[in-house]
Amino acid sequence: MEIGFVGLGAMGVLMVERLMAAGHTVTGWNRTKEKATTLIQSGMRWADSPRAVAEESEIVFSIVTDSKAVEAVALGEQGILAGLKKGGVYIDMSTISPPVSKAIAAKFAEAGRFMLDAPISGSPVTVTQGNASVMVGGDKDAYERVRDVLLAIGPKVSYIGASGLAVHMKIAVNLLLMIEVIAFGEAVALAEKGGVERAVALDAILKSVAASPVLGYRGPFILEGKMPDVPLADVTLQQKDMLLALDLARTLGSPIPLGAAANEMMNACRGLGIDHRDFVTAHLVYLTLGGQLK
């Protein structure tokens, strides 16, 4: 298939690689062209705008930072809607506000095009391993048309429901993930405070019933020298999703007290100046509060 891809950050690059490996022709665009150099050398075609990407494609993906960025690449003068052919499908994989996603989808529907919200659950690690999952919201027939393409990105593809529901579900999943990782830091700090060596505590948790895939690849980051120079998801990026969850909870009247507490720990990361690191670094906040770090 002729596929377009807008947004070639850490996740976008890996997804384009998987799409090309599956035999699809990909035309891409990114705000910073330098990030696409390796992909271009591997055969990805370059376009000078999201609109130009869409003009060359049957399906266009995007994965960008936030709601404003999606609105810009989807609806701007040089955006995807301006170039996508009638009946074409736009698939946004970003984690953004569900009401904003639904509003953008309505614009595409008015123009005779389709937009699916299809956020990906995973990290660069899980995408590379082929273990990421994709949740999809929007027109069911459009979903059926693109399902096989989505399976090239990750083996677990689930149709959630109407427009906006997939990104809503992704925010709920990320809420759980953030609470889990923050609680992990709390547990390890408690163990350390009582005299258990950090590596021993980590090993015990990963062998226990509390173990999970995200702790399996992220937990070791708390060991000396293991924190990656390029985080899988830094505190700022993860807190963006937490704030989306808190806003949804406020709007819906659905209590998320554990989410609010986890958000405060991310605030504390910012206060300590460690918010540029992967958000498992919240473990250091607990050590600081417990007097183990000065």
Question: Confidence band (pLDDT; 50, 70, 90) for 131?
Answer: confident
Q: Are 71 and 96 within 8 A, CB to CB?
A: no
Quick check: 294 pLDDT over 80? no
Q: Does the active-site annotation cover 35?
A: no
Asked if 117 and 138 touch (Cβ cutoff 8 Å), the reply is: yes
φ, ψ of residue 164 in degrees (nearest 5)? 90, -20
Q: What is the mean pLDDT of the chain?
A: 96
List pLDDT tens digits, range 59-108: 999 999 999 999 999 999 999 999 999 999 999 999 999 999 999 999 99
- Please state, in angstroms and as integers, the Cα–Cα distance from residue 220 to each residue in 174, 226, 227, 277, 281, following that order: 20, 7, 8, 14, 11
Residues in contact with 63: Cβ distance below 8 Å, sequence separation at least 6, in sequence order = 6, 7, 9, 11, 12, 15, 92, 93, 94, 120
pLDDT exceeds 70 at position 185: yes
Domains 2-162 and 169-289 share a fold: no
* 189-232 pLDDT, tens digit each: 999 999 999 999 999 999 999 999 999 999 999 999 999 998 98
Strand partners, 114: 89
The residue from 68, 170, 207, 226 that is catalytic is 170
CB 184 within 8 A of CB 205: yes
> How many whole angstroms separate alpha carbon 231 and alpha carbon 21?
26
Measure the CA angle with vertex 89, ends 84 and 94; round to 5°.
Answer: 100
Query: Can you identify the CATH homologous superfamily of domain 2-162?
Result: NAD(P)-binding Rossmann-like Domain (3.40.50.720)
Mean pLDDT of 124-134: 89
DSSP string, 65-92: SSHHHHHHHHHSTTSHHHHPPTT-EEEE
Q: What is the pLDDT of residues 244-288, one digit of tens each?
A: 999 999 999 999 999 999 999 999 999 999 999 999 999 999 999
Q: Determine whether domain 169-289 maps to CATH 1.10.510.10.
A: no
How much of the chain exceeds pLDDT 70, in percent? 100
In angstroms, rounded to a whole number, what is the distance separating the alpha carbons of residues 108 and 84?
Answer: 10
Indicate the residue type of 113. Answer: R
For the whole model, what pTM was predicted?
Answer: 0.93
Domain ranges of the chain: 2-162, 169-289
DSSP string, 88-135: -EEEE-S---HHHHHHHHHHHHHTT-EEEE--EES-HHHHHHT--EEE
State residue 230's pLDDT score.
87
